[in-house]
Amino acid sequence: MRRGKKKGKSHSTRPITSDVAAKLKVSEDEVISLIVDYAKKGYAPSMIGTLLRDQHGIALSKAIIGKKLTQVLAEKGLAPQIPEDLANLIKKATRIRRHLEEHPKDYFSLRGLQLTESKIHRLVKYYKRKGVLPQDWKYEPEKISVIA
């Protein structure tokens, strides 16, 4: 039995930004051009960050550029219309809906759909409050299921 209210300490640690940026021989323009190239090839922002880390040794692009990766994409007009986490949840909800069309008595999946859609609604509310999504944007599964 666990004593006290402490939770685990397992988490990923970010690299130290000042030393890493100084050691890399990569300029701002090169990093921005890599980001734009990967975005034009159709990669999502999280995948671009992974590619920069794994293939080019750039752990944090923000340390070199001074702004977030999505901000660079927005300046170049390549940012996704819907934030990536919301788009992934919408895709997950459409997959569950498709499954429920074939298996309507799968109540565990129905509960999973309810939980996923509540996450979608919470995220939409947050993004509307932050100004990322327009105030009139609405999650409509019938229309979006065709897109995703």
Local confidence pLDDT in tens for the 148 residues of the chain: 456 667 777 777 776 666 666 677 888 899 999 999 999 999 999 999 999 989 998 888 888 888 999 999 999 999 999 999 999 999 999 999 999 999 999 999 999 999 999 999 999 999 999 999 999 999 998 877 544 4
Q: Which two tokens stand for residue 120?
A: 């979608």
Residue 33 is predicted with a pLDDT of: 95
Spatial separation of the C-alpha atoms in residues 76 and 116, rounded to whole Å: 32
Chain CA centroid to CA 26, Å: 25
Please choose, from the candidates 47, 50, 46, 67, the residue with its C-alpha nearest in 3D space to the C-alpha of residue 58.
Answer: 50
Each domain of the chain, given as residue ranges in start order, spans 24-75, 84-147
Its pTM stands at 0.79
Spatial separation of the C-alpha atoms in residues 35 and 17, rounded to whole Å: 19
Spatial separation of the C-alpha atoms in residues 118 and 110, rounded to whole Å: 12
Q: Which two tokens stand for residue 7?
A: 């939770």
Overall fold of domain 84-147: Helix Hairpins (1.10.287)
* Residues listed for the chain: 148
